[in-house]
Amino acid sequence: MNEDRLHAYIDGQISEAERLEIEAELSRDPEAAARVNDYQRQNEALHSLLDPILDQPHALGIGARRRIRWQRWGGLAAAIAVGFIGGYLARGDLDLLDGPELDPIARQAMLAHAAYVPEVRHPVEVGASEEQHLLAWLSKRLSTPLRAPSLVDAGYRLLGGRLLPPTNASDPAPMALLMYENTGGHRLSLLIKRESTNSETAFRYAVDRGTCVFYWIDGPLGYALAGDMDREELQRVARLVYKQLNP
Amino acid sequence: MGLGFSAADAERWIPRLRRYAFALTGTREGADDLTQDTLERAWRKRALWRPDSDLRAWLFTVMHNVFVNGVRAARPVESLDDERFGVDSGQAQTAANAAESQLALAEIRTAFGRLSNEHREVLSLVGVEQMSYAEAAAVLEVPIGTVMSRLARAREQLRRLLSPEGSAAATPALRRVK
């Protein structure tokens, strides 16, 4: 059978008369019929491979360049990016960031990580060259003394930090974000937040699209260490953070 | 006349453009980047769109060009490894619940990822997007005859990769797109 006609038949790009003609030919040509069947199943398989993305949330659009980062850096950010950009910034609707799946501090850490880690030029507000000033400032804003753990043993140096706005109306204190970087340019972020309860918890863990977070409460402060790495690797750094803060 | 099409007219095609971009790049991040680049380029060049022509085909043409130029500029070298065409767990569950269809999905993912860019393009436009050969030829900026011969080769190649011998011979090696 003519190759072009066979494909035109599969793709429905022929007249009704031709279709009947080709079907008659196929009934006499099992080899061609088997190929047609295979090719048709390819199309079905491709739909099952590619179609799921049709319904996935996205933040794309004309003039949406800045929103892409949100999407790239985690499903959490992607899922709420539209709500966040459209709602939170515009209406100040802080509750949009609350969700049932993640503890608030883990969520906040992922959001901050997603927003600031990809920044090439402005990952931090105050650089590590002004570490003392940075910590004095953040300590003042969080109303509690902060320290920046040294992660040199894990290969990460302090890049700097920034103040984060509260993301929850019921917990209106600002938060601090410290960022670290290794020689490969890989970044970790450590979110520090004032806790109302003076308690201690074990390490807890959350993951969303490649971003892992270890978080815990240690006295008046809650910590959440976020990184795009696997659980064991991040856990090692989290232990180091804890050790550094509790020498 | 004005500008021909509105931002909303173009954005209506985002899901379809994104699906095509996913077929081309193999990752969701790549798909989103390509789609966004395409939307921006289309918007900048919107004066070039002829109001009597099909906006979808024109947007796909823009995407094709953005993609080809990106590959030519040897932007990120995509490795055709098993990460490509990966779906996240939630999606995989809805897309393919039964173990059997999971397996089929894994097979098509690997096989499709091994095709050349040209073959993935033509299969997506004709087989998935269901464009006519003439439309696909316009998008790819090649003659219709080229679309048809490429399509025939792409289907045969995919068939070979999906056959028991093809998938057995297929080692999960990393291959590079030129």
How many angstroms separate the CA atoms of A19 and A37, rounded? 15
Residues A44 and A69 in one domain: no
**Of A7, A46, A62, which has the smallest distance from its Cβ to B108's Cβ?**
A46
Structure tokens at A27: 């009934």
Number of domains in chain A: 2
Residues A159 and A221 in one domain: yes
Asked if residue A129 is part of any domain, the answer here is yes
For A132-155, the pLDDT digits (tens) are: 999 999 999 998 899 999 999 999
What pLDDT was estimated at residue A241?
94
Provide ipTM, 2 decimals. Answer: 0.83
Is the same domain home to A171 and A217? yes
Indicate which of B19, B112, B135 best probes the interface with A, i.e. most A CBs within 10 Å of its own CB.
B19
Residues 20-79 of B with CB under 8 A from A: 22-23, 28-29, 31-33, 35-36, 39-40, 43
The tens digit of pLDDT for each residue in A204-231 reads: 888 876 788 999 988 889 999 999 888 8
What structural domains and CATH numbers belong to chain B?
1-78 (1.10.1740), 116-166 (1.10.10.10)
What is the model's pLDDT at position B169? Answer: 53
Q: pTM above the 0.80 mark?
A: no
Residues A59 and A67 sit within 8 Å (Cβ to Cβ)? yes
Q: Can you give the CATH number for the domain in which A143 is found?
A: 3.30.200.100
State the residue for tokens 């190759």.
A3
Asked if residue A60 is part of any domain, the answer here is no
Range(s) of the domain holding residue A48: 3-53
Average pLDDT of each block of 10 consecutive residues along chain B (178 residues)? Answer: 76 95 90 92 89 92 91 50 52 50 80 92 96 95 96 96 70 44
Question: Which position has the higher pLDDT, A100 or B114?
Answer: B114
Both tokens of A244, joined, read 């550094």
pLDDT tens across B154-165, in order? 999 999 999 877
For A4, nearest residue in chain B (alpha carbons): B148
Task: Count Cβ neighbours within 10 Å for each residue of B95-130 and write b for 16 or more, e otherwise.
Answer: bbeeeeeeebbbbbbbbbbbbebebbbbbbbbbbbe
